[in-house]
Chains A and B, each alone.
Chain A
C-alpha cells in the first residue's frame, strides 16, 4: 500500500507539472480561486446578436436545473443559482480544483425583448437563453418599389 501511495504522489507531481505547463501555454485558462476580472464574473458568458434575437450562453457544469433561475425584468436579464458540492462519501480527496459556487449576474439588454418569446435550455452543462427582440426593434426588410 505504501508503494502505491508513492506512485500516486508521483502521479500528482506529473499532474502539477502538466498543469503548470498548461498555465504557461494558455494565459486565459479558467482557474477557480483566481481573482475574477473586473468585467467578468461567474459564470462567464457569451452573448450573441442573431438579428431577431439575443442568445446568451453560459458554462454551468454540474449545476442542476432546480438550482438555476433565469429571470427577465424589463430589459434586464438575471441568472442566479448555485453548484452544490459533489464530493463522494468514503473517499480521500487528493485534488480539488472544482469548487462549489453561488452566482448571480444581471445583464442589461441592448434593446427591448419580447418576454413571451424567451427560452432557456440547460444541456451538457451549458445554459442557452434565447431572447427574441421586441417587434419594434427587429431588423426590417424594406421592399423597394419601382416608382
Chain B
C-alpha cells in the first residue's frame, strides 16, 4: 500500500509557463515551487527541450488536509533549429525558472556569383 501511494506521488505534473520572444532570444519562465538547482534537469535534445524536476519533500507527521500532493514536474517543448543549444542559460530563483534560449545570428544571404561559361 505504501508503495502505491509513493508511485502516485511520483506522477509528474506540467509546470505553468510563460513564453516570450524578442530579436535575440526566446525567454521561457516556469513555476517550479519546491525545486532546487540540484533537482532540476534541462535537456535540449534534437528539436525538443525537456524540463524535469523532482520535489524532494520529506513527508512530515500526519497530514490533516490534502488539497494537493507534491508532484514532480515534467514538460517538453519543441524548439526551432534557430535556437543556439550551446548558449542556453537557466536561472532558478524563488521557485521560478528563467530559461534564456538565444537565437543564432541570422544567416546572411550568400551571393552566388554567376560565371559565364
Q: Which residues on A are within 8 Å of B, measured CB to CB?
A: 1, 4, 7-8, 10-12, 14-15, 18-19, 22-23, 26, 28-32, 39-40, 44-51, 54-55, 57, 59-64, 86-88, 90-98, 110, 122, 124-126
Q: How far is the CA of A6 from the CA of B112 in the complex (A)?
A: 27
Q: Which residues on B are within 8 Å of A, measured CB to CB?
A: 11, 13-14, 16-22, 26-27, 29-36, 57, 59-70, 75-82, 94-96, 103, 106
Q: How far is the CA of A94 from the CA of B80 in the complex (A)?
A: 15
Pick the residue among B63, B81, B103 that contacts A48 (CB under 8 A): B63
Residues in B neighbouring A51, C-beta threshold 8 A: 61
Residues in A neighbouring B59, C-beta threshold 8 A: 48
Pairs A–B under 8 Å by Cβ, sample size 22: A4-B80, A7-B80, A18-B14, A23-B14, A26-B11, A39-B67, A46-B63, A47-B65, A54-B64, A61-B31, A86-B96, A87-B20, A90-B22, A91-B20, A92-B22, A93-B18, A94-B19, A98-B30, A124-B34, A124-B35, A124-B95, A125-B96
| Residue ID in chain B nearest A53 by CB atoms | B61
Residues in A neighbouring B36, C-beta threshold 8 A: 124
Distance (whole angstroms) from the CB of A65 to the closest CB of chain B: 9
Distance (whole angstroms) from the CB of B88 to the closest CB of chain A: 15
- Is there an interface contact between A48 and B60, defined as CB atoms closer than 8 Å? yes
